[in-house]
Amino acid sequence: MAKRVSSGTSQKLSNVYSGGLAIVGAFPWLADKYGMTVPVWLIGYSGALAITALAYLIWHILIAWLPGITGSRRQLPVASILAFLAGVASSLWIMFPHTSGSNHRAFTLSKQEVVSKKTFINEKVDIDGKRFERSEFQNVTFIYHGLGKVDFVNSSFRGSIHLHTDNIAVRQFVDLTQLLKSNPGFIGDDISIIDDDGEHYYLRRDQTNKPPEQIR
Protein backbone atom coordinates (compact mmCIF):
# COMPACT_ATOMS: atom_id res chain seq x y z
CA MET A 1 0.00 0.00 0.00
CA ALA A 2 2.87 2.29 0.86
CA LYS A 3 4.44 1.63 -2.53
CA ARG A 4 1.20 2.56 -4.28
CA VAL A 5 0.94 5.82 -2.34
CA SER A 6 4.58 6.58 -3.08
CA SER A 7 4.03 5.84 -6.75
CA GLY A 8 0.94 8.04 -6.86
CA THR A 9 2.77 10.86 -5.11
CA SER A 10 5.65 10.54 -7.53
CA GLN A 11 3.20 10.67 -10.43
CA LYS A 12 1.61 13.86 -9.09
CA LEU A 13 4.99 15.49 -8.54
CA SER A 14 6.00 14.55 -12.07
CA ASN A 15 2.85 16.14 -13.44
CA VAL A 16 3.46 19.29 -11.38
CA TYR A 17 7.03 19.53 -12.67
CA SER A 18 5.87 19.04 -16.25
CA GLY A 19 3.23 21.74 -15.88
CA GLY A 20 5.79 24.07 -14.31
CA LEU A 21 8.25 23.51 -17.17
CA ALA A 22 5.48 24.21 -19.68
CA ILE A 23 4.68 27.51 -17.97
CA VAL A 24 8.36 28.51 -17.76
CA GLY A 25 8.85 27.59 -21.41
CA ALA A 26 5.87 29.67 -22.49
CA PHE A 27 6.96 32.76 -20.54
CA PRO A 28 9.38 34.16 -23.20
CA TRP A 29 6.63 33.84 -25.84
CA LEU A 30 4.16 35.67 -23.59
CA ALA A 31 6.74 38.36 -22.82
CA ASP A 32 7.41 38.85 -26.54
CA LYS A 33 3.68 38.99 -27.26
CA TYR A 34 3.23 41.80 -24.76
CA GLY A 35 6.04 43.92 -26.19
CA MET A 36 9.10 42.93 -24.17
CA THR A 37 12.40 42.45 -26.01
CA VAL A 38 13.18 38.72 -26.05
CA PRO A 39 15.90 37.01 -28.16
CA VAL A 40 14.42 34.96 -30.98
CA TRP A 41 16.52 31.91 -30.07
CA LEU A 42 15.17 32.00 -26.51
CA ILE A 43 11.56 32.02 -27.75
CA GLY A 44 12.35 29.07 -30.02
CA TYR A 45 14.07 26.78 -27.53
CA SER A 46 11.91 27.67 -24.55
CA GLY A 47 8.84 27.01 -26.71
CA ALA A 48 10.24 23.58 -27.61
CA LEU A 49 10.72 22.91 -23.88
CA ALA A 50 7.11 23.88 -23.22
CA ILE A 51 5.85 21.59 -26.00
CA THR A 52 7.89 18.64 -24.71
CA ALA A 53 6.66 19.18 -21.15
CA LEU A 54 3.06 19.37 -22.33
CA ALA A 55 3.46 16.16 -24.34
CA TYR A 56 4.81 14.40 -21.24
CA LEU A 57 1.90 15.72 -19.17
CA ILE A 58 -0.66 14.64 -21.80
CA TRP A 59 0.89 11.17 -21.83
CA HIS A 60 0.36 10.71 -18.10
CA ILE A 61 -3.17 12.05 -18.34
CA LEU A 62 -3.94 9.52 -21.08
CA ILE A 63 -2.61 6.69 -18.94
CA ALA A 64 -4.73 7.79 -15.99
CA TRP A 65 -7.97 8.30 -17.92
CA LEU A 66 -7.70 5.54 -20.52
CA PRO A 67 -7.03 2.27 -18.70
CA GLY A 68 -7.25 0.41 -22.01
CA ILE A 69 -3.73 1.53 -22.95
CA THR A 70 -2.01 0.51 -19.73
CA GLY A 71 -0.38 -2.53 -21.35
CA SER A 72 3.16 -2.01 -22.60
CA ARG A 73 2.27 -3.18 -26.13
CA ARG A 74 -0.62 -0.75 -26.30
CA GLN A 75 1.38 2.10 -24.81
CA LEU A 76 4.12 1.98 -27.43
CA PRO A 77 2.05 3.14 -30.46
CA VAL A 78 0.39 5.92 -28.47
CA ALA A 79 3.71 7.06 -26.99
CA SER A 80 5.36 6.95 -30.44
CA ILE A 81 2.64 9.08 -32.03
CA LEU A 82 2.71 11.58 -29.17
CA ALA A 83 6.53 11.79 -29.29
CA PHE A 84 6.45 12.26 -33.06
CA LEU A 85 3.91 15.08 -32.86
CA ALA A 86 5.85 16.76 -30.06
CA GLY A 87 9.06 16.49 -32.07
CA VAL A 88 7.51 18.00 -35.18
CA ALA A 89 5.87 20.80 -33.20
CA SER A 90 9.13 21.58 -31.37
CA SER A 91 11.12 21.64 -34.61
CA LEU A 92 8.64 23.96 -36.29
CA TRP A 93 8.62 26.23 -33.25
CA ILE A 94 12.42 26.49 -33.26
CA MET A 95 12.48 27.15 -37.00
CA PHE A 96 9.70 29.74 -36.96
CA PRO A 97 9.64 31.27 -33.46
CA HIS A 98 8.61 34.71 -34.79
CA THR A 99 5.10 33.37 -35.41
CA SER A 100 4.62 33.05 -31.67
CA GLY A 101 4.15 36.70 -30.95
CA SER A 102 4.88 40.23 -32.09
CA ASN A 103 8.24 40.50 -33.81
CA HIS A 104 8.98 44.18 -34.26
CA ARG A 105 11.49 43.39 -37.01
CA ALA A 106 9.17 41.27 -39.13
CA PHE A 107 6.93 42.66 -41.86
CA THR A 108 3.31 41.62 -42.03
CA LEU A 109 3.68 41.08 -45.77
CA SER A 110 6.43 38.48 -46.14
CA LYS A 111 6.34 38.27 -49.95
CA GLN A 112 6.81 41.06 -52.47
CA GLU A 113 4.51 41.71 -55.38
CA VAL A 114 6.45 42.51 -58.55
CA VAL A 115 5.13 45.48 -60.52
CA SER A 116 6.91 45.73 -63.85
CA LYS A 117 6.90 48.32 -66.66
CA LYS A 118 3.98 50.33 -65.31
CA THR A 119 3.41 54.09 -65.44
CA PHE A 120 1.84 56.03 -62.59
CA ILE A 121 0.71 59.62 -63.23
CA ASN A 122 -1.13 61.99 -60.87
CA GLU A 123 -2.21 59.32 -58.42
CA LYS A 124 -1.69 57.82 -54.98
CA VAL A 125 0.34 54.61 -54.97
CA ASP A 126 0.33 52.05 -52.17
CA ILE A 127 3.87 50.69 -52.05
CA ASP A 128 3.82 48.18 -49.18
CA GLY A 129 5.26 44.81 -50.11
CA LYS A 130 5.92 45.79 -53.73
CA ARG A 131 8.96 45.66 -55.99
CA PHE A 132 8.67 48.17 -58.82
CA GLU A 133 10.79 47.26 -61.84
CA ARG A 134 11.32 49.59 -64.80
CA SER A 135 8.31 51.67 -63.78
CA GLU A 136 7.68 55.41 -64.19
CA PHE A 137 6.29 57.77 -61.59
CA GLN A 138 5.13 61.30 -62.34
CA ASN A 139 3.41 63.62 -59.84
CA VAL A 140 2.55 60.81 -57.44
CA THR A 141 2.04 60.37 -53.72
CA PHE A 142 3.48 57.21 -52.25
CA ILE A 143 1.49 55.73 -49.35
CA TYR A 144 3.51 53.53 -47.02
CA HIS A 145 1.74 51.66 -44.20
CA GLY A 146 4.88 49.93 -42.89
CA LEU A 147 3.57 46.46 -43.72
CA GLY A 148 6.23 45.24 -46.15
CA LYS A 149 9.51 45.85 -47.89
CA VAL A 150 9.61 48.22 -50.87
CA ASP A 151 12.07 48.22 -53.78
CA PHE A 152 12.44 50.44 -56.84
CA VAL A 153 14.62 48.88 -59.55
CA ASN A 154 15.54 50.81 -62.70
CA SER A 155 12.55 53.10 -62.18
CA SER A 156 12.26 56.82 -62.94
CA PHE A 157 10.68 59.70 -61.02
CA ARG A 158 9.46 63.00 -62.50
CA GLY A 159 7.50 65.95 -61.30
CA SER A 160 6.47 66.25 -57.66
CA ILE A 161 6.91 63.15 -55.51
CA HIS A 162 5.34 62.90 -52.05
CA LEU A 163 5.68 60.22 -49.38
CA HIS A 164 2.96 59.70 -46.75
CA THR A 165 2.60 57.14 -43.96
CA ASP A 166 0.02 56.24 -41.34
CA ASN A 167 2.36 53.89 -39.50
CA ILE A 168 2.83 55.03 -35.91
CA ALA A 169 6.36 53.60 -35.61
CA VAL A 170 7.52 55.32 -38.78
CA ARG A 171 5.94 58.59 -37.71
CA GLN A 172 7.57 58.33 -34.29
CA PHE A 173 11.00 57.71 -35.84
CA VAL A 174 10.64 60.75 -38.09
CA ASP A 175 9.38 62.92 -35.22
CA LEU A 176 12.26 61.77 -33.03
CA THR A 177 14.78 62.57 -35.76
CA GLN A 178 13.36 66.07 -36.20
CA LEU A 179 13.36 66.63 -32.45
CA LEU A 180 16.98 65.55 -32.01
CA LYS A 181 18.16 67.69 -34.90
CA SER A 182 17.60 70.72 -32.67
CA ASN A 183 20.20 69.33 -30.24
CA PRO A 184 23.74 70.57 -31.07
CA GLY A 185 25.19 67.25 -29.98
CA PHE A 186 23.06 65.22 -32.38
CA ILE A 187 25.06 63.74 -35.29
CA GLY A 188 22.66 63.39 -38.19
CA ASP A 189 24.99 61.12 -40.16
CA ASP A 190 24.84 58.55 -37.36
CA ILE A 191 21.17 57.67 -37.95
CA SER A 192 21.32 53.99 -38.84
CA ILE A 193 19.30 50.89 -39.61
CA ILE A 194 20.22 47.79 -37.59
CA ASP A 195 19.73 44.44 -39.32
CA ASP A 196 19.09 41.04 -37.68
CA ASP A 197 22.84 40.43 -37.36
CA GLY A 198 23.40 43.68 -35.47
CA GLU A 199 25.08 45.44 -38.41
CA HIS A 200 24.51 49.20 -38.76
CA TYR A 201 23.65 50.80 -42.10
CA TYR A 202 23.86 54.56 -41.90
CA LEU A 203 21.32 56.82 -43.58
CA ARG A 204 23.69 59.08 -45.49
CA ARG A 205 23.07 60.91 -48.71
CA ASP A 206 25.97 59.19 -50.45
CA GLN A 207 24.40 55.77 -49.65
CA THR A 208 27.85 54.23 -49.43
CA ASN A 209 27.03 52.25 -46.34
CA LYS A 210 23.54 50.98 -47.15
CA PRO A 211 22.68 47.35 -47.77
CA PRO A 212 23.64 46.36 -51.35
CA GLU A 213 20.06 45.46 -52.29
CA GLN A 214 18.95 49.01 -51.48
CA ILE A 215 21.42 50.64 -53.87
CA ARG A 216 20.00 50.75 -57.39
- What's the pLDDT score for residue 49? 83
What pLDDT score was predicted for residue 210?
Answer: 47
Residue 108 lies in a domain: no
Question: Using alpha carbons only, how large is the chain's radius of gyration in Å?
Answer: 27
Q: Does residue 16 share a domain with residue 96?
A: yes
Range(s) of the domain holding residue 131? 113-214
Identify the domain boundary among 100, 133, 157.
100
Of 70, 100, 130, the residue that ends a domain is: 100
**What pLDDT does 48 receive?**
83
Nearest by Cα to 154 from 114, 210, 107, 121: 114
CB 211 within 8 A of CB 201: yes
User: Is residue 1, in this structure, part of any structural domain at all?
Assistant: no
Asked if the structure places residue 172 within a domain, the reply is: yes
Q: How far is CA 180 from CA 136, 165, 172, 193, 214, in A?
A: 35, 21, 12, 17, 26
Out of 78, 100, 122, a domain closes at 100
CA end-to-end span of the chain: 79
Domain count along the chain:
2
Mean pLDDT of each 10-residue bin along the chain, 216 residues long: 53 72 80 72 81 79 62 62 76 63 64 94 95 96 92 95 90 84 71 70 56 42
| Model pLDDT, residue 124 | 96
Considering the domain architecture, whether residues 153 and 123 belong to the same structural domain is answered as yes
In whole angstroms, give the CA distance from residue 118 to residue 125.
12
C-alpha to C-alpha distance for 21 and 86, rounded to whole angstroms: 15
* Alpha carbon distance 15, 86 (integer Å): 17
Same domain? For 131 and 206 the reply is yes
Alpha helices in the chain (DSSP H): 2-33, 40-65, 72-95, 168-181
Q: Which of 133, 137, 135 is nearest to 122 (CA)?
A: 137
Do 162 and 126 reside in the same domain of the chain? yes
- Pair (36, 128) in one structural domain: no
